[in-house]
Amino acid sequence: MSCNTDTVHFETLPIVQQDSANELRMHIDFNLSDSAKAYVTYWVKGKSDKKYYSPLSHSTKNHHVTLVALKGKTTYEYQVMVRNDQSEIESQVQSFTTKKFPINVLHLRWEDEQVRGLDGYILSQRRMVNGIIYLIDEDGDVVWYQSVPKQPKLSHWTDQNTILVLYGAAKHRNSSGDQIVAYDLWSNKHMHLDLSALNEPLEAHHEVRYDDAGNLLALVYDFKAFDLSAKGGDNNQLVMGDKIVKMDSTGQVLWAWSVFDHTDPLADSSIVETADDWSHANSLFIDPDGNYLISFRNFNQVWKVDANSGAVIWKLGEGGNISIDESGYFYGQHAFHVNTEGHYQVFDNGRKERKTRVVTYQLNETNEKGVVEEIIELPEELYCDKMGSAYLMNNDNYLFCAPRTNSLVVLSPDGQVLSRARVGIPDPYRAEYVPQLYDLSHVK
């Protein structure tokens, strides 16, 4: 080891141990002579030009650092970096080898040996009974996974560097469940909410998120009876719509909004046929101004909803009040959000023309006008009539999830397929882009 002064030194040299429950985690323990901050830098042996860093282990004498985002069956070299106000030291370079990634967890196969165009990490889920959520790095390798009880219906990366997971049983609908849990990268649970145990049980679907106050936002099913006898239905027929609920960590509902309060199912000429899944909301996003963006697949529209009053501010899409060129209409859309460049972006499943696209917009809310900024089409063989997502990465490429072909795809801004992976069955609901896993401001 080397040091500038003798103020702090290693009382015990770093000892590395394999995590007993996960092949892609390693623990490094060491003791110091005085309280100091520390972190571990590590790299694949022979590739020291590409280094990774642990989170900062805060001031203490006895340190326990867990490394995550590791590749399976790979030899790494590492150094422990220590500093306090008086000195900086580093350990000698040591090595460890991870265990083989368990093949039964996820069958991941890239079409070409060279994975191109990735940046950061991909978060997705395998929706099997006792499924998993997982992260893929920019080399295309699975570097993290977390087993989930029952079926993980969706996973979402949060601003707190945790992963919100909605899971449920086989009895639940394809994208719904009654359990919400927040995991960190070290498998700690930061929150677990059982929606089935509430005084008024809920079934969430398609989306769970935190707002800025740390409350939970979720899409849940809403049911209301209507007289549909004039349209050939029953005189007291249940129609399934959608509701936004805001809950605290105990499940107490703080605010709710129902689609039934803002549009009438009786105005739908096909309501008898669509009653069992009338509006089909499938994404919820918080606009930078704090209001809510909710996507209704069956309406082919996205609505902006006032987060306080519940008023509908605008409707985007065919028949909406935001005027846009018809090329910007979407059909069966998913994953509407504001991208990293500040533009509204949608994954247009393209059910009308059987052509899947990503479309971005600039909207002028005051004038109720929109401009189609960009349209990127997926190749015909990647047509995706259900589910899916598209996110802009920091390198300006797009990450697509095309579940109907079990594919994760990286596209260039001009629509060129740079990489494509097959992720096996069952298909993922979506795949999110994660630029960075945790704070690295401590790294020089």
Inter-residue contact 373 to 360 (CB < 8 Å): yes
Residue 7: which CATH number? 2.60.40.10
Tokens (6 digits) for 287: 């606009």
Instruction: Examine residue 79 and state whether it is found in any structural domain, yes or no.
Output: yes
Question: What is d(CA 69, CA 146) in angstroms, rounded to the nearest whole number?
Answer: 12
Q: Please tell me the predicted confidence (pLDDT) of residue 375.
A: 97
Statement to judge: residues 67 and 152 lie in one domain: no
Residue 377: which CATH number? 2.120.10.30
Q: Please tell me the predicted confidence (pLDDT) of residue 6.
A: 59
Residue positions counted in the chain: 444
Mean pLDDT in each 10-residue stretch from start to end of the chain (444 residues)?
Answer: 64 95 96 96 97 95 97 97 90 97 87 92 92 96 95 96 95 93 96 97 97 97 96 96 97 98 95 96 98 98 98 98 97 98 97 97 96 96 95 97 95 94 89 97 89
Statement to judge: residues 237 and 285 lie in one domain: yes
Question: Among the three residues 52, 77, 97, which one is the final residue of a domain in this structure?
Answer: 97
Residue 307 is given by DSSP the state: T
Residue span of the structural domain in which 254 resides: 109-434
Instruction: Examine residue 442 and state whether it is found in any structural domain, yes or no.
Output: no
Inter-residue contact 362 to 375 (CB < 8 Å): no
For 440, other C-beta atoms within 10 Å of its C-beta total: 13
Instruction: Examine residue 192 and state whether it is found in any structural domain, yes or no.
Output: yes
Inter-residue contact 41 to 58 (CB < 8 Å): no
Instruction: Examine residue 102 and state whether it is found in any structural domain, yes or no.
Output: no
pTM given for the model: 0.95
Q: Please tell me the predicted confidence (pLDDT) of residue 2.
A: 43
Instruction: Examine residue 123 and state whether it is found in any structural domain, yes or no.
Output: yes
Statement to judge: residues 36 and 115 lie in one domain: no
Question: Among the three residues 75, 97, 119, which one is the final residue of a domain in this structure?
Answer: 97
Statement to judge: residues 224 and 262 lie in one domain: yes
Question: Apex CA 333: angle with CA 152 and CA 363, to 5°?
Answer: 120
Instruction: Examine residue 443 and state whether it is found in any structural domain, yes or no.
Output: no
235 phi/psi in degrees, rounded to 5:
-85, -5
Question: Among the three residues 62, 97, 132, which one is the final residue of a domain in this structure?
Answer: 97
Statement to judge: residues 274 and 305 lie in one domain: yes
Instruction: Examine residue 439 and state whether it is found in any structural domain, yes or no.
Output: no
The DSSP code sequence of 384-440 is -SSS-EEEE-TTS-EEEEEGGGTEEEEE-TT--EEEEEE--SSPPS--EEES-SS--
Statement to judge: residues 405 and 258 lie in one domain: yes
